[in-house]
Amino acid sequence: MTRFLHFAMVSLLLIFSLSNLLAADAELIDLYAEPDKSLPAPDPEKADRIVRESVLAEHAEHAFLAAATERALLYDTAGIESPGIGELLDGDPGGSFTGLIEGERLLRATSDAQVETIGGTADQPTGQARLPVNMSQSCPGFYVLRTHSNPTGSQSGRYGAEVLLRGSGLRTMQGGLNFGGYATSSVSGFSAFSIANSANEMQSLSIGISVSGAGTLTLERRSSSQGDQTLRSLNLPGAGDYSTSINVGPGFYVLSYRPNSGTRSYAISALTSYLNRPGGGFQGGAVVGGWHNPSQNTSGFAGFCISREFDASVQVLSRPTYGSSGARGMAFSLASTTHTALDSRQGQTDDHGNTCNTATDLGSISPTPAGTQRDRSGRIDFGGDLDYFRFQLNSAATVELFTTGSTDTYGTLLNANCSPIAQDDDSGQAQNFRIERNLSPGVYYVEVRHWSSSGVGPYQLSVRARGGQSGGGTDDHGNSCATATPAGTFGNYGSGQIQTNTINGRIDHANDRDFFRFDLVSASNVELFTTGSTDTFGTLFNANCSAIAEDDDSGAGLNFLIQRNLSPGTYYVEVRHWSPSGTGPYQFGIRARGQTTGTGVTATFLFDNALIYSVNIEVNGQIVGSAPAQQTTSYTYSGPPNASVRYILNRPTTPNGQPVGEQMVGTYSITAANGGSYRFNINWRLGNQNFFAPLIRNNFNFSVQPRVNAGLQSQQDCPCTIPASGQYTAFGYYRLFSNSNVEALRPNSTQSWRWNNIANSVQPGSGRIQLNLQ
């Protein structure tokens, strides 16, 4: 028993000092909730796939552990535990334990490239190798399994790592297990292990834990026949060291730590011995898991002792096993102080850089009428791989970016500052992206990725530049005020007369813009609109081609509708698709009538604005004032009984004046009675669509760029940054779906943090949701 006590005390000292290896991670609040099926999804096929992945994440972990139970207990029960073989071996504090504390430095120093077999994917690597031992040591083989970030890129999320000892006869992790890593308030850090012996003897399980924050330590016994049973639940009131012990019989156990809030580091020793004789350990192998933190060299570990050589297999599970909540870009190593048995990071390759700074240079492109084209082959080498390309445009041109091949690509065009200016999913052939934009001379970047976070495959990227500013192929209407299609002259109305004109049009290609010109010879109340099945977006310009009004969906279906009282003069209307990649036919219409004179009726309009931004109030086509955020504003109306009332969201803007977020425009038509009072509710609901306003508190020492609804058809890459201020920063309103998400990306880096399935956590009315990043 003296030898056991020595092992236990050293292990506890080790495990408490291991907390130094694990630094605090960003506090990524997981706001997961069951999707609200009543909310519309923008893309049924792809959106539902993401929802299913998230819902299945919790079930995946249980299934993983259940399968591990069967694998760990696949041994010859007749050869289980006999005197001599089962004698407990104490550890080697001068070698193994010191090495464990050293972490990455030790691993790199002792790497001997004797890797036997590495397989799997970049998200879920696997490996098999023989683990040699040194019988002169008190612990012949002390090995540490570590999880790392893939050198070619990684993202945070849930993971599990399994190490199994292969072969016949007794396969024991002598004395227990040391493990640790990171856990969040919604993702426990855990280890799963089996205790077994032929005589069903009880064992004493001594548990020591060091944590960086308050939480709960739980020991469960899992049984498919008898159900799950919680044997011990220990409240940990704060950061510090804690211990407990319990006598347990043969079975499959899960020992876990879950913090009360945020992301916390932890280190646990789970040591076992028989009650009345030496010996004890975990049979067959073990499973560990928790939260992967890409900012750390090592995000999780499991240290164990073996008394003889074994063949070992390692499997890391992240995406797609855990769905969209799983980590991406995982790697692992399995090493002793003198021997690296496996390291999945060796031999990782990436054909193109994954940032603007490391982009593959396509050279300078001088456009020609026939088109100058650059082609480059590429491959999405692993789940989450990003390939970046750079090109220099020597003169203004219409530039077409696209891929070909069988891989489902997603493309983003970025400017010289590496800020996104266009993105597309499937506008090209098959499932390839295609982006077409009129660009000024300068440097541009292209990001190519797989639509699926776990997808891989080859592709060919093409960049084609044509001289001039044509829209590519045929274009039915001009794409600027200077080339606008004439739409008529209106005015000199007879009594009650309404003058109209309609013109057929088509959004011929991605980013196509159709311009129309009309003239007013007298003051007019003008309605500008489209009809048809295409989701249009309209903008009204004055004679100087300066925008004075815009709208998305105020018309019938998904058509725009703009109503304004206008003075005599020349005006232009731009019609485009709401989606940068959308195409389709429409009919553009103008309806004009003389402005009504006289006071008519007097009424009180009350605007209850629940949004976090102010809105402009427009009555009968004229801006009459604004309604401050989250206040009630009164306006005295004098005019004809039939009134058209609109609010237009005042979107926040970047320092250069670019609006961010999606526009919200609400339209009301009322018949006012003299002296009446009318209340207008302005909130997150617009027609049949909810909107939400994310606010991110960034406590890092670097800025991040937000992305909303990542991977969905309505994805929005905000051309803004969230500063490292420690204050909540809002960046506009966005469409809310059952599987909406918010992502924070570190510029010029593969690091990102995502909040998934946030719909049920959005505040009704204002649509506000606060997200912490620290």
- The residues, ordered by sequence, that sit 6+ positions from 561 with a Cβ below 8 Å of its Cβ are 527, 528, 529, 538, 551, 554, 555, 667
pLDDT averaged over every residue in the chain? 77
Could you tell me the end-to-end alpha-carbon distance of the chain, in angstroms, rounded to an integer? Answer: 46
Same CATH fold, 601-683 and 485-594?
A: no
CB atoms within 10 A of CB 113: 8
| Closest of 294, 349, 129 to residue 753, by C-alpha | 294
pLDDT one-digit tens code per residue, 626-685:
899 999 998 888 878 888 888 999 999 887 777 899 989 888 878 877 878 899 999 999
The reported pTM is: 0.39
Q: How confident is the model at residue 21 (pLDDT cuts 50, 70, 90)?
A: very low
pLDDT of residue 73: 36
Mean pLDDT of 224-238: 87
Q: How confident is the model at residue 691 (pLDDT cuts 50, 70, 90)?
A: very high
Q: What type of residue is 568?
A: P
- Which two three-digit tokens encode residue 177? 């297990």
Mean pLDDT of 124-128: 88
Q: How confident is the model at residue 574 (pLDDT cuts 50, 70, 90)?
A: very high
Task: List Cα–Cα distances, 770 to 171, 195, 358, 747, 773, in angstroms.
Answer: 49, 44, 34, 22, 10
Domain boundaries, the chain: 116-343, 360-466, 485-594, 601-683, 689-772
How many Å apart are CA 589 and CA 609, to the nearest integer?
32
- 601-683 belongs to CATH 2.40.50: no
pLDDT of residue 104: 23
- 116-343 belongs to CATH 1.10.1370.30: no
- Which two three-digit tokens encode residue 485? 């299609």
Whether residue 185 has pLDDT greater than 80: yes
pLDDT one-digit tens code per residue, 233-276:
999 999 988 999 999 988 889 999 999 998 899 999 898 888 88
Q: What is the residue-wise DSSP string for 534-557?
A: S-EEEEEE-TTS-EEEEESSSSST
User: What top-level class would CATH report for the domain 485-594?
Assistant: mainly beta
pLDDT of residue 4: 32
Mean pLDDT of 462-470: 70
- The residues, ordered by sequence, that sit 6+ positions from 234 with a Cβ below 8 Å of its Cβ are 216, 217, 218, 242, 244
Cα angle for residues 367, 370, 371 (degrees, 5° grid): 40
Q: How confident is the model at residue 773 (pLDDT cuts 50, 70, 90)?
A: confident
The answer to whether 209 touches 180, Cβ cutoff 8 Å, is: no
CATH of 360-466, one of 1.20.1740.10, 2.60.120.380, 2.60.40.10, 3.90.1210.10: 2.60.120.380
How many Å apart are CA 280 and CA 689, to the nearest integer?
61
Share of the chain above pLDDT 90, in %: 28
